[in-house]
Structure 1
Amino acid sequence: MEMKSALTIKGLDHSVETSNGTLDILKGINIEIKDGESVAIIGSSGSGKSTLLGLMAGLDQHTRGSIELYGEKLETLDEEGRAILRGKFVGFIFQSFHLLPSLTALENVMLPNELKGEGSANDRAHQLLEAVGLQHRLSHYPRQLSGGEQQRVAIARAFASAPKILFADEPTGNLDSKNGGLVEDLLFDLNKEEGTTLVVVTHDPKLAERCDRQIEITDGEIKES
C-alpha cells in the first residue's frame, strides 16, 4: 500500500527585501514527504534550512510556489487559517525550548490541549512526561530544570496534541552529547509510537543519519542524498 503524502512542495521560492535589494533565500524547491516518514534537512548555516522549516509549518508565507500540508494549500490561507491548520496537524520543537516560565512542566505540557478545551489534558501530560522520564519533575518550573530536562518537556508538549507532523529546529543544538543522545532517542521512540511524520533541521550528522532520508540545502537550493 502506497504511503500518502504529508507535505508536498512545488516550485517554492522565498525572497525578502533588504536595504541592498531583494535577497533570494529559497529557490525552486520541490519536496515530497510521506506520512510517517522521518526526514533530516541539513546544510551549512545561512543556507535557508530554518526558513524552509518555518514555511513548511505555515509560520510564515512563501513568495512563490505551492506548499500542501495534508491536502491544504498554505498559500490559500490567511494567518488565522494557517494557525487553525497548525493546531490541527502540527507540532514544533525549537532549539531554545520556548517554555512558559510561569508554568510548571506539567502545565506547559497541558497547555496545547487546554487551549483546545480537551478534558484529557492532565492525563495526556502525565503520560508524556513519564515517557520522557520526568514524572518526578511535574511541579518544577523551567528555571529549576536543566537544559536537557527543558528540551524533554518541550518534546512532551509538542506531542501533547498528537500532531500528524512534527517540525524540530536544531532540537539537540543547545545540549551536551549525553542529553542530546537522550533527546534523539525520545524523538524517534515517540515518532514510532505515535506514527508522527518527523521533519528535523540539524547540524548533527548522527541525528540526520537516524532519519529515513536526508535533504541537503545549499545556497537556497535542494540537493537530496
Structure 2
Amino acid sequence: MDEPLIIKVQNVSKRVPLADQTLEILSAIDLEIKKGDSLAIVGRSGSGKTTLLGLLAGLDSASDGSIFILGRDLSNMSEEERAALRAEYIGFVFQSFQLLSSLSALENVMLPLELRGDQHARQEAEQFLARVGLAERAGHYPHQLSGGEQQRVAIARAFACKPSILFADEPTGNLDTVTGQTIIELLFDLNRVEQTTLVMVTHDDSLAAKCNSTLRLENGRVLT
C-alpha cells in the first residue's frame, strides 16, 4: 500500500502588489510529499524557495491554488487554526537558530512542550538533548554555546514535539563545513528514526542529493 500524502500542493501561485505593478514570486506550483519522505527545495537566491516554505507551513497564504497539510486545506483555515496545526504537527529549524537568549538549552527545548501542556516536558527535553549530544550542556545559555551547539539545540527542540513534518530553512547556512556535516547527519538520522517528513530549503546541491527528491525553482517556477 502506498504511503499517504502528507503534503499536497495544487497550482499554487504567490503574488505581491508593488507601487505600480504586481510581482509574481511563485507560479503554478504542484507538489506531493509522502509521509517520511525528505524533499530539498533548491534554486538561486530570489527563486521563491523560502516563500514556498512559508506557504507550506501556513505562515503565509497563497494567491491562487490549494495546499493540503495532513489532508487539511490551509486556504479554508483561519490564522488561529493554522497556528494550532503548526503547534501540533509541525517543527522548524531556522538558519538563525531562533533560540531564546534568556533560557538555557534545556529550557529552550522544554518551551514548546510546556506550551502544549506536556506533563513530561523536562524528561522529553533531556532525552532529545542527549540524542543530539548536549546532555552536559543542558544548563548553558545560547551565548555560551557554539553555532553548531545552538543548531543542535534547535534540532532537539524541533524533534522533541515529535512533529509530523519538519521544515528546515538553510539549516547549515551559518555553520562551518565540519559542523554543518554533523548537523546534516543528525537531521537525517532523526528523520529516519522518527519517520518525520523533512522539507528543506538549501542552496547546497550535495545536501539536496541526500534527500529522497528535489524540487528546483527558477524565477518562481518548477524546473522539470
Band the TM-score falls in, shorter-chain normalisation:
over 0.9
Q: Say whether 1:69 aligns with 2:69.
A: yes
1:33-52 equivalence runs, <5 A = 33-52=33-52
1:1-225 equivalence runs, <5 A = 1-224=1-224
2:89 counterpart letter in structure 1: F
What is the rounded CA distance, in whole Å, between the counterparts of 2:219 and 2:112 in structure 1?
A: 35
What is the rounded CA distance, in whole Å, between the counterparts of 1:44 and 1:3 in structure 2?
A: 31
Deviation at 1:86, TM superposition (A): 0.6
Deviation at 1:196, TM superposition (A): 0.2
What secondary structure sits across from 2:58 in the alignment?
A: coil
1:5 counterpart letter in structure 2: L
What is the rounded CA distance, in whole Å, between the counterparts of 2:89 and 2:140 in structure 1?
A: 29
TM-score normalised to the size of structure 2?
0.98
What is the rounded CA distance, in whole Å, between the counterparts of 1:160 and 1:119 in structure 2?
A: 13
RMSD: 0.7
What is the rounded CA distance, in whole Å, between the counterparts of 2:215 and 2:205 in structure 1?
A: 12
What secondary structure sits across from 1:171 in the alignment?
A: coil
Deviation at 1:19, TM superposition (A): 2.0
Deviations 1:167-186 (A, max 9, x none): 00000000000110000011
What secondary structure sits across from 2:206 in the alignment?
A: helix
What is the rounded CA distance, in whole Å, between the counterparts of 1:3 and 1:189 in structure 2?
A: 20
What secondary structure sits across from 1:139 in the alignment?
A: coil
1:52 counterpart letter in structure 2: L
Deviation at 1:155, TM superposition (A): 0.5
What secondary structure sits across from 1:136 in the alignment?
A: helix
What is the rounded CA distance, in whole Å, between the counterparts of 2:99 and 2:65 in structure 1?
A: 33
Deviations 1:84-112 (A, max 9, x none): 11111100111000000000000000011
Q: How many residues are matched?
A: 224
Deviations 1:101-157 (A, max 9, x none): 000000000011100111111111111111111111100000111111100000000
Deviations 1:66-86 (A, max 9, x none): 000001100001110100111
What secondary structure sits across from 1:13 in the alignment?
A: strand
What is the rounded CA distance, in whole Å, between the counterparts of 1:206 and 1:126 in structure 2?
A: 32
What is the rounded CA distance, in whole Å, between the counterparts of 2:204 and 2:134 in structure 1?
A: 25
What is the rounded CA distance, in whole Å, between the counterparts of 1:97 and 1:147 in structure 2?
A: 9
1:208 counterpart letter in structure 2: A
What secondary structure sits across from 2:162 in the alignment?
A: coil
What is the rounded CA distance, in whole Å, between the counterparts of 1:120 and 1:207 in structure 2?
A: 34
What is the rounded CA distance, in whole Å, between the counterparts of 1:60 and 1:66 in structure 2?
A: 13
Deviation at 1:27, TM superposition (A): 0.2
What is the rounded CA distance, in whole Å, between the counterparts of 1:183 and 1:51 in structure 2?
A: 23
